[in-house]
Structure 1
Amino acid sequence: MSDTDIRVLIVDDNRTVRRGIRLRLENAAGIRVAGEASNGRDAAVLARAERADVVLMDLHMPGMSGIEATRLITSEANETCRVVLLTSEVSDAFVVEALEAGASGYLLKGHDSDQLLPVIRGAAAGTATISPRVAPRLIRELRAAKPQPAEPEQVALLTAAELRVVSLLSSGLTSNDEIARHLTVSVNTVRSQTASALRKLDLDDRTQLALWGARNGLIRREK
């Protein structure tokens, strides 16, 4: 093991599930299991005590839910700890709530098992991932939602080019390549504008940026 290994905390009230995840992670290069918890309250304590880089969080647990624990962990001073929800719950409302609580990912047990390792590595690097089985429904919900009035001070922070990138992210274009083709610019330009918008809005990842745009009516609705 190395000091640069990604420290992962496994949180699930099912011991068999925790054991299965642990066995898989212990054989993965560059990943170290930092500990296990069976409820959200213990997860919040252990995430700090064990200096976890990534927390794999179940949604429904006794005492404190995964969303409550996510909110607590991401509001702590240690902003480098990322939370990925790993659950069987497909509800759009839970996905939105989890992301708004600060989660950096939302995966479905059983369906997204092959994505677990890359999502952990991506979360540690600051990249957000939503299960392909959930993302289209989430985008539809955001499109249908009545937008809230945008905060003029926040919107004014972004350049016109950055707002165009945000609007495409909020409309469901998830890759830099897609956005670059749509805007006829380079992928590096898209990366730069995305990073600038995240910094100006004090957001952690692209998913939060897309949610911010959708909530504030910045979705580009034309085909």
Structure 2
Amino acid sequence: MTTPGADIRVLIVDDNRTVRRGIRLRLENATGIRVAGEAANGRDAVVLAHAERADVVLMDLHMPGMNGIEATRLITADEQSGCRVILLTSEVSDAFVVDAIEAGASGYLLKGHDSDQLLPVIRGAAAGTATISPRVAPRLIRELREARSATAAPEQVALLTGAERRVVGLLSSGVTSTEDIAKRLSVSVNTVRSQTASALRKLDLDDRTQLALWGARNGLPRPGA
């Protein structure tokens, strides 16, 4: 995560120069964000992410030489750097979404469709929050629920209280807004935040996306379902 008060250093990775230029122009006009550099392929992205001490990498999926998934895996493998990767792509394939998350991506946004989310997602990633495009989340949850029988961990589920399970169940069903979860459960936003933090601590997970994936894999039911 970035040092409080410091600009977020963002590396732009895309093999399309026009796309890179468009993203750069948008970021250069944003408060608290600095463009650390650009790369046109995954190999250069891995090198530059380290050399430029990037806080967040905006990563295209399909590039020559090394694709965005493999580059993401190599960048996030260096846990000490704290660098976060956001996949920014037009690809909505279930397999690619799952691969991106498993590779360590902190976000998966769709070009064009999620353009209004780019700046808040960058800031959230730098602060340790993960975000999945609302257009992608249902596909990801479905994919993981189909595979849950092979990864169920009842002993871990037993660690959570009933209230925590209900929160995780909604997260894993694609309800990602803390406010929406609070309304559905008729509790306060602070209660949801507290229960989310407690579940993360008990399961030794880093963020809400990992918690949602865990819930989907372990078949936690959506409250009222």
Q: TM-score, normalised by structure 2?
A: 0.89
Shift of 1:56: 0.1
1:4-15 matches, within 5 Å, as 4-15=6-17
Q: 2:140 aligns with which of 138, 141, 144?
A: 138
**Number of positions where the alignment pairs a residue of Structure 1 with one of Structure 2:** 222
Q: Percent identity?
A: 83
1:182-197 mapped onto 2 (5 Å cutoff): 182-197=184-199
Q: Do the aligned partners of residues 182 and 221 (structure 1) sit closer, same or farther apart at CA in structure 2, a change above 3 Å counting?
A: closer
Could you say which residue in structure 2 is the equivalent of 1:64?
A: 66
- Contact map agreement 2:138 2:173 (CA 8 A) in 1: no
Task: Please tell me the residue identity of whatever aligns with 2:104.
Answer: G
Q: Tell whether the 8 Å contact from 1:143 to 1:219 is kept in structure 2 after alignment.
A: no
2:41 is equivalent to residue 34 of structure 1: no
Calculate the TM-score normalised by the size of structure 1. Answer: 0.90
Instruction: Assess if the C-alpha contact under 8 Å between 1:84 and 1:103 holds in 2.
Output: yes
Q: CA deviation at 1:60?
A: 0.8
Unaligned residue ranges in structure 2 (runs of 5+): none
Matched, 1:75 2:77: yes
After superposition, the C-alpha distances for 1:154-200 in whole angstroms (9 at most, x for unaligned) are 33443332222111211222111222223232110110111122233
User: 1:92 touches 1:141 (CA, 8 Å); kept in 2?
Assistant: yes
Structure 1: 5+ residue stretches without partners: none
State the partner residue of 1:154. 156
| Aligned-CA RMSD value | 2.1
Question: Cα 1:159–1:222, aligned 2, differ >3 Å: closer, same or farther?
Answer: closer
Change (3 A) 1:115 1:93: same
1:152 Cα deviation from its structure 2 partner: 4.4
